[in-house]
Amino acid sequence: MVFGSSSAPIARISRSALARNIQIAHATEPSAAIDLRRDACGHGAELVAAVAREAGVTAEIRDGDPDAPALPLADVFGLEGRGETAMTLVAPVLQTKALLAGEGVSYGYWYRPEADTRVALVSGGYAQGVARAIGWTGDEPAGLVVIGDEECPIIGRVAMDVCVVEVGDVAVSPRDEAVLFGAGRAHLLWQWARATGWTELELAAIAGLHARREEIA
């Protein structure tokens, strides 16, 4: 898929995934409220509230409200192996270039390939909520992105606004779409959680609060 005119990451929020998740959670805990604090953990409070009302959830918890029994957030957003992941984080490929054997890449030049290869610069760094820990650890990449149907490793250290991905012989061009997590590949965000020690909910919330959001079916 080719990205649009924006160069910033986009958090795509699936209305249908939210609806299915909330319906299941509400059936289990019919008196529980929907927790909309922190902009519904980066998923968009008004969208989540509207979907919850359609599912029959009438009680809401918003910023500043006291705690109350609420539907489990991981269930609502399809995280931690529960339900269907509602958020997919995507970003454009900005450019591609050759990386010769032994040449360093990104901060500190931690990663140096043993053979000539090809890399892509992908929009999205720690300023946009892409955790620095998912870059090259010194032994192996901690994170992958999907370009086309291919999973490609993040190499080097995640920078402020970009990350570097080794694409090798994969057909990649500027403006191609890279999936950082979501899109039915639960293991991508799981790898972020393993590398950072944070929960999938925390990571999705940070990304959603920093990215431009887009509602999809």
- pLDDT tens column, 131-174: 988 987 677 767 999 999 999 999 988 999 999 999 999 999 99
In the structure encoding, which two tokens stand for residue 122, read together? Answer: 């992908």
Helical spans, DSSP H, in the chain: 15-28, 37-42, 45-54, 73-77, 186-196, 200-210
- pLDDT tens column, 40-91: 999 999 999 999 999 999 999 999 999 999 999 999 999 999 999 999 999 9
Q: Please state which CATH class domain 87-216 belongs to.
A: mainly beta
In the chain, where do the E strands start and end?
A: 10-14, 34-35, 60-61, 87-99, 117-123, 144-147, 150-155, 162-166, 177-181, 212-216
In whole angstroms, give the CA distance from residue 40 to residue 7: 25
User: 10-14 and 212-216: which strand pairing?
Assistant: parallel
- pLDDT tens column, 187-205: 999 999 999 999 999 999 9
In whole angstroms, give the CA distance from residue 34 to residue 65: 12
Specify whether the CB–CB gap between 183 and 189 falls below 8 A: no
Specify whether the CB–CB gap between 145 and 152 falls below 8 A: yes
Rounded average pLDDT over 26-45: 98
Specify whether the CB–CB gap between 135 and 122 falls below 8 A: no
Specify whether the CB–CB gap between 120 and 164 falls below 8 A: yes
Neighbours of 83 (CB within 10 A): 21
